[in-house]
């Protein structure tokens, strides 16, 4: 999931870790003595200390290894996505800019009547750019980005999810402005009350809602962005907290053209005419952004496969030995890469959007 800089990368301790102040800080957390912590955990905690060398109140009772996990694996200091990298979705970009980016950049203006909601839901078919939007929000608002998949909280962190959620919100509050992106949020805030619903997953959900409530009331600059392909599974409590709900639909024909052009151009492979691109767009009705990416990948293999069947050896093959990528390569790729979203599913999103979406 993208390139994350480890905490060890460019470490500059904010305090002297000579045992005078840092030592006191680490020894007070979760009852662990400083000796019990390894160097990377200590460094990570030191990075979160305030100018006084003290660990913020919120983090003191949390387990150091969870704080370290959030800092190293969930926090992404350089999300590296900008609006210009996202094809189409002009409407969503405009709404998000007004609803979240401006308030994150100018909290002094966006208060009182103008105070923004702290929860945004992006819903729609898979592979349409929801994660990209989350990253772009952080990039454009110069905020720290935290990414977590809710299903990993319920599956991988069995029994510990609750603690990890506390660590996540705790670290985010030390790294404001912050964007917490929760992928597959339906698996955390689902309305299903199956008999099998474990006590632990109920507690996890409660903890999550409490944390959201906490920063919603305060003056914290934390935005929660939830993404889901199954908005209909969200319960009323979840909808209430995710005040803005934006439909992220399949890409339009122009957006598909943009994706094809952009991906080929990046690799110096774009030799298709406008007419060629139009043909490809007509053939890819119903394809998601991620389907388009897979299609381009497959089509770009066409010239390579052909050169190899003509007798070129892979070890000696030069760029010039390969012909340009053509519409025919896309037609072949269309046999391999099928659209991942069905018409039926689209109807469900549109229905839900009519009923609960913020802006149509």
Residues near ligand ADP, by CB under 6 A? 86-89, 126-132, 227, 251, 255, 259, 289-290, 293
CB of 164 to ligand ADP, least distance (A): 21
Identity of the residue, 82 or 156, whose beta carbon is nearer to ligand ADP in the bound complex:
82
CB of 197 to ligand ADP, least distance (A): 26
Sign, Cα dihedral of 33, 34, 36, 40? positive
CB of 337 to ligand ADP, least distance (A): 13
CB of 243 to ligand ADP, least distance (A): 20
Identity of the residue, 132 or 257, whose beta carbon is nearer to ligand ADP in the bound complex:
132
The Cα–Cα gap between 7 and 71 comes to 7
Query: Tokens 């990528």, residue?
Result: 325
CB of 87 to ligand ADP, least distance (A): 3
Identity of the residue, 44 or 281, whose beta carbon is nearer to ligand ADP in the bound complex:
281
CB of 294 to ligand ADP, least distance (A): 9
Identity of the residue, 55 or 227, whose beta carbon is nearer to ligand ADP in the bound complex:
227
Identity of the residue, 207 or 340, whose beta carbon is nearer to ligand ADP in the bound complex:
340
Identity of the residue, 70 or 86, whose beta carbon is nearer to ligand ADP in the bound complex:
86
Sign, Cα dihedral of 213, 153, 233, 104? positive
Residue nearest to ligand ADP (CB): 289
Cβ atoms of 223 and 180 closer than 8 Å: yes
CB of 105 to ligand ADP, least distance (A): 23
CB of 230 to ligand ADP, least distance (A): 12
Identity of the residue, 231 or 251, whose beta carbon is nearer to ligand ADP in the bound complex:
251
Cβ-Cβ contacts under 8 Å for 109 (sequence gap 6 or more): 102, 103
Identity of the residue, 70 or 89, whose beta carbon is nearer to ligand ADP in the bound complex:
89
């Amino acid at each position: 999931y993208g390139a994350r800089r480890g905490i060890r990368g460019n470490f500059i301790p904010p305090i002297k870790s000579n045992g005078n102040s840092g030592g006191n800080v680490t020894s007070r957390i979760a009852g662990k003595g400083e000796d019990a912590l390894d160097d990377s955990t200590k460094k990570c905690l030191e990075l979160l200390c305030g100018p006084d060398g003290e660990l913020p109140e919120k983090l003191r009772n949390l387990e150091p290894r969870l704080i370290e996990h959030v800092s190293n694996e969930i926090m992404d200091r350089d999300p590296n996505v900008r609006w210009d990298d996202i094809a189409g979705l002009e409407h969503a970009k405009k709404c998000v800019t007004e609803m979240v980016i401006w308030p994150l950049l100018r909290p002094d203006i966006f208060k009182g009547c103008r105070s923004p909601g702290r929860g945004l839901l992006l819903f729609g078919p898979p592979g349409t750019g929801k994660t990209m939007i989350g990253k772009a929000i952080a990039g454009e608002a110069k905020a720290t980005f935290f990414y977590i998949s809710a299903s990993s909280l319920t599956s991988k962190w069995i029994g510990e999810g609750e603690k990890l959620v506390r660590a996540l919100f705790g670290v985010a509050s030390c790294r404001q402005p912050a964007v917490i992106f929760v992928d597959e949020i339906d698996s955390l805030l689902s309305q299903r009350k199956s008999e099998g619903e474990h006590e632990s997953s109920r507690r996890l959900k409660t903890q999550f809602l409490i944390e959201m409530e906490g920063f919603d009331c305060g003056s914290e600059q934390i935005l929660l962005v939830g993404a889901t392909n199954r908005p209909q599974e969200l319960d009323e409590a979840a909808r209430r907290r995710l005040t803005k709900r934006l439909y992220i639909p399949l890409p339009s024909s122009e957006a598909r053209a943009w994706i094809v052009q952009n991906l080929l151009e990046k690799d110096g492979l774009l030799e298709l005419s406008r007419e060629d691109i139009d043909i490809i767009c007509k053939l890819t009705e119903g394809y998601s952004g991620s389907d388009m990416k897979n299609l381009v990948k497959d089509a770009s293999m066409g010239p390579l496969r052909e050169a190899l069947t003509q007798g070129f050896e892979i070890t000696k093959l030069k760029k010039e030995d390969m012909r340009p990528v053509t519409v025919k390569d896309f037609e072949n790729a269309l046999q391999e890469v099928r659209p991942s979203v069905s018409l039926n599913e689209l109807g469900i999103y549109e229905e839900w959007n009519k009923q609960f979406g913020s802006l149509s």
